[in-house]
Chains A and B, each alone.
Chain A
Amino acid sequence: MTRRVLLLLFAVLLLGGVGTTAVLNASANAGQREHQQAGGPAVRNGNLTLRPPSGRELVFRNMTWGPYRDDLVTVPADRPDAPRTASGVKCLRFYAASGTGVCLQAEHGTLGDSYQAVILDAGLRELHRFPLAGIPTRARVSPDGRLAAWTVFVGGDSYAGTNFSTRTSIVDTRTWKLDDNLETFTIIKDGHPYRASDINVWGVTFADDDRFYATVATGGQTYLVQGSLSARTLTTLHQNVECPSLSPDGTRIAYKKRVPGASPDAPWRLYVLDLRTMTETATAEHRNIDDQAVWSDDSTLVYALPGNYGTDLWTVPADGTGAARLLTKAALAPAYLQAN
C-alpha cells in the first residue's frame, strides 16, 4: 500500500511539474510578445475615424505583437506600409462602411470567453452591443452603413466534440431590429421551399438594405443564396460557393471554392462568379484561402493568408490575370474607408 501511495505521489509531483512548466512557458512567451515590437510594421496611437477627412484609407485588425495587438488601425489606402494609426479598440473581426463599424470582440471570463458584436459609429463610439452564441468568424456592413451582419461558430453538444455549426445574424442599426438566426428564413432551393435540420448559413455580403448574398450549407453541399430581409427568404443560385463577397458594382461575387483533387487540409481556392452569366473564373492566387475576400475596387481583391504574425493581407486581380502580391504584413479583417 505505502509503496503504491509513494509511487503515486512521485508521479503526481513529476506530472504536476511537467504541467506547471508548460503553463509557465506559455505564460513567459505571452509576456515576451507583450514587449516585442522590433522588425514589424510601425504602429502609433492616434485618432481613428471611419469617415476619413480626405483620401481613402484601409482599416484592419493589427496583428503585430505588443501593446497594439488586435487594435483597429488605419493606413492610407495607397500606402499600406505607412505607419499604422491605432485606435485602442480591439476586435477579432471587423468591417465598416459609410461610417458604421461592426466589431466582434472577446471578453475573458472564468467560465471561458464570451463574445459580443459591438456596433460603432464613425468616431468608434459604441452604439449598441449584442451577445454572441460562439466564436466570431465573419462580419459585414451594408454599403450605406444601415445593416450589419455577423457569423459565429457554435460548438455542438460537448460529447460530439468536432461537430460545428454556424449562426448568422443581421441587425438594422436604425431600428435595432435583430434577425438573430438566418436559419429561420425560408429557404428556396431549386425553386421549392426546403427544410432540414442540418442547415448552416454564413458569410453575408450586402447588395443594399434588403438584398444580400450568403452561403447556405445542407446535406454536405454549399450553395450561394440570394437573401431578402423583408421577405425573409434565401434562394439558391449556384453550388459550391463559400464566403461570398459582392463587387462594388454588384455584378460579381468573389468566393472560396472547394476544388476537386485538392488536399483535404487545403481545399479552397479564390474564384469569382459573374452573376449575369454564372461563369466562374479562377484568380491567379493558387494557394488555399480561408477568408471572405474584400474588393478594393471593381477589379481587385484583398484577402488574408497565414503569415508570421498570424495573418498577412494579399491582393490579386479579380479577372484571373496577374499574380498575387503582398499588401501588408500582420493584418486581418480589412475594410476600405471613403472620405465624405
Chain B
Amino acid sequence: MYLADRCRSLPGTTGSRAAVPSAVLALGAVSLITDVSSEMITAVLPLYVVAGLGLSPLGFGLLDGVNNGATALVQLLGGALADRGGGRHKAVAAFGYGLSALCKPLLLLAGSVPAIGAVLAVERTGKGLRTAPRDAMISLATAPEHRGRAFGVHRAMDTVGALLGPLIAFAVLAAADGSQGGASAGTDGYHAVFTVSACVAALGVLVLLLFVPSRRAVGPAAKPPLRQTLALIRVPALRRLTLCAVLLGLSTVSDAFVYLLIQRRTGLAVGLFPLLPLGTSAAFLLLAVPFGSLADRIGRPRLFLAGHGALLLGYGLLLCPLSGAAPVLLVLALHGAFYAATDGVLAAAASGTVPAEHQGAGLALVGTGQGAARFVCSLAFGAAWSAWGGHTALALAATALATTSVVAFGILRTHQEATT
C-alpha cells in the first residue's frame, strides 16, 4: 500500500545529493519575499502605534489568543480546500498570499488600534490559508526520500526573509526621515515602510504565480472537503504522528514566554531583549538544511523527537541559576535547533503518511493539531505562572515535556517496528 511506500525514507535508499526541485526553490523565494514584507511591518508596528500615532496599545484587550485559535482552524480549511477537485494547491496558496498582500496598503488607512488589529487578523487568515497548500506543493514536488532536506531549504529561505525584513524596514525609516535627526518624524516614514512592504508582498505573489508550477489533478474529484479531512484521522500513521505532535505541543512553551524567562532568569540587559528572537532565527537558519538532510537519513520521527530533546535541555538550562552571555546564547541555539529539527521535519514526516491527493489536508491536520496544542499550553503556562511563579511553571513544563517525549517515543517506535 502507498503508506509503506511513502515511509521508505530510511538510510541508503538513494543518493542524497540530488538537486532541490525548482518548485521548492520558487516556493522558498516566495516565502522569503513574503516574510521580508510581513516582518517589515512587525518590526515597526509598535513604534508606529506609540510614536507615530501617539496611541496607548495597552488595555485594548489581547486578541492574540483568539487569533491563534482562529488561525489553526483556517489552516485546516486551507488544506481541505486545496485538495478539493484534485490539487488546487497553487490557487488556494495564491489566494492566501494575495489576501495578506492586500492588508499592507490597508494599514495606511487604519488609524486606530482596533482597526490595525482587524487588518492584522485578516493578514493572519491569509497566512493560515496558505500554509498547508504551500507545504503540500513542496512535498509533491520532491521525491519522498529528499523531503526533509526540501523542507529544510524552504524553512531556511523563509528565515532569511524574517531576518532581512526588520533591517530593510529600519533602512526605509531612516531614508524617509531624511536629514531630520529629531526624535519624531510624524507618520510619513511609517507610511513609506507600509508602501514598500506592500510592493514587496505583491512581488511575492507574482513570483508564486509565474514560477511555481501548477499541478495537474492527482486524484479523483473529492467528497465534501472537511469530512474528508477528518476521515484522514483514520490513517494509522497520520493519526500516530498527529497524536505525537499534539502531545509534544501541549508541553511546548510559546516563544514569548521563553524570551521572558531568559530575560528574568539571566538578568539580561534590557536593551538586548529585542535581539533574543534573532538568536533563535539565526540558529534555525543555520541548522534547517543540515537537520533536514539528517532527517532524511536517520528518520524524521527520530529527529523530531531529538529536537524536543534539545528543547528540554534548554528548559533545563533555564532552571539552573545562570548569568552572563554564554548560557543565553546556548539556550537560544537549542531553541533554534529545536525549530530546525521539528518545523520542516514534521511536515516532511506527515507528507509520508498520506496519499498525494490528500497532502494538503493531511499536513493541515498535523499543523492544526500542533498549533492548537501549543495554544492550550500557553494558556496553561500562563495560569501556572499566576499560581506558582515562572520558575515552577517552567519546571512543570519541563516535566511535562520529558513525559510526553517518552510517550511519543513509545508511539513512534511501535510505528517504525510496524512498517519496517
Which residues of chain A in 256-312 are interfacial with respect to chain B, using CB atoms and an 8 Å cutoff?
258, 264-265, 267, 290, 306, 310-311
Please tell me if A69 contacts chain B, counting CB pairs below 8 Å.
yes
A8–B207 CB distance below 8 A: yes
Which residues of chain A in 139-156 are interfacial with respect to chain B, using CB atoms and an 8 Å cutoff?
153-156
Given A34-B179, A135-B51, decide whether A25 and B192 contact each other with a Cβ distance below 8 A.
Answer: yes
A91 to B386, CA, bound (A): 37
A222–B176 CB distance below 8 A: no
Please tell me if B1 contacts chain A, counting CB pairs below 8 Å.
no
Count of CB-CB pairs between chains A and B under 8 Å: 200
A106-146: contact bitstring with B at CB < 8 Å (1 yes, 0 no)? 10101111100000000000000001111101000000000
Q: For the side of the interface on B, what is the size category?
A: 35 or more
Please tell me if B43 contacts chain A, counting CB pairs below 8 Å.
yes
A30 to B59, CA, bound (A): 32
Given A27-B177, A135-B50, decide whether A159 and B166 contact each other with a Cβ distance below 8 A.
Answer: no
Please tell me if A323 contacts chain B, counting CB pairs below 8 Å.
no
Which residues of chain A in 18-51 are interfacial with respect to chain B, using CB atoms and an 8 Å cutoff?
18-19, 22-23, 25-31, 33-34
Which partner residue on chain A sits nearest B388 by CB separation?
A195
Which residues of chain A in 185-199 are interfacial with respect to chain B, using CB atoms and an 8 Å cutoff?
195-198
Chain B residues with CB under 8 Å of A195's CB are 385-389
Chain B residues with CB under 8 Å of A132's CB are 270-271
Chain B residues with CB under 8 Å of A69's CB are 180, 182, 184
A154 to B388, CA, bound (A): 24
Chain A residues with CB under 8 Å of B175's CB are 23, 27
Which partner residue on chain B sits nearest A194 by CB separation?
B386
Which partner residue on chain B sits nearest A15 by CB separation?
B199
Which partner residue on chain B sits nearest A153 by CB separation?
B50
A156 to B273, CA, bound (A): 10
Please tell me if B259 contacts chain A, counting CB pairs below 8 Å.
yes
B227-264: contact bitstring with A at CB < 8 Å (1 yes, 0 no)? 00000000000000000000000000011110110000
Secondary structure call for the B interface: helix
Chain B residues with CB under 8 Å of A162's CB are 45, 57, 62-64, 116-117, 120
Q: How far is the CB of B166 from chain A (nearest CB, A)?
A: 7
A30–B271 CB distance below 8 A: no
Chain B residues with CB under 8 Å of A4's CB are 210-211
Given A133-B273, A157-B255, decide whether A198 and B382 contact each other with a Cβ distance below 8 A.
Answer: yes
Residue among A26, A134, A159 facing the most chain B CB atoms (10 A cut-off): A26
Which residues of chain B in 169-211 are interfacial with respect to chain A, using CB atoms and an 8 Å cutoff?
170-172, 174-186, 188-189, 191-192, 195-196, 199-200, 202-203, 206-207, 210-211
* Residues of chain B having any CB pair with chain A under 8 Å: 39, 42-43, 45-47, 50-51, 54-64, 112-117, 120, 162, 166-167, 170-172, 174-186, 188-189, 191-192, 195-196, 199-200, 202-203, 206-207, 210-211, 254-257, 259-260, 269-271, 273-274, 277, 381-382, 385-390, 393
Instruction: Please name the 5 residue pairs, one residue from A and one from B, whose CB atoms are nearest each other, closest first.
Output: A197-B385, A133-B270, A26-B176, A22-B195, A196-B386
* Residues of chain A having any CB pair with chain B under 8 Å: 4, 7-8, 11-12, 15-16, 18-19, 22-23, 25-31, 33-34, 69-70, 90-92, 105-106, 108, 110-114, 131-135, 137, 153-167, 180, 195-198, 200, 202, 217, 220, 222, 242, 258, 264-265, 267, 290, 306, 310-311
- 29 A–B contacts from the bound complex (CB under 8 Å): A4-B210, A27-B177, A29-B188, A31-B179, A70-B183, A90-B182, A92-B184, A108-B181, A110-B167, A112-B166, A112-B274, A113-B170, A135-B47, A135-B50, A137-B56, A153-B57, A155-B46, A157-B277, A162-B45, A162-B62, A163-B256, A164-B58, A196-B385, A197-B382, A197-B393, A217-B58, A265-B112, A265-B115, A310-B54
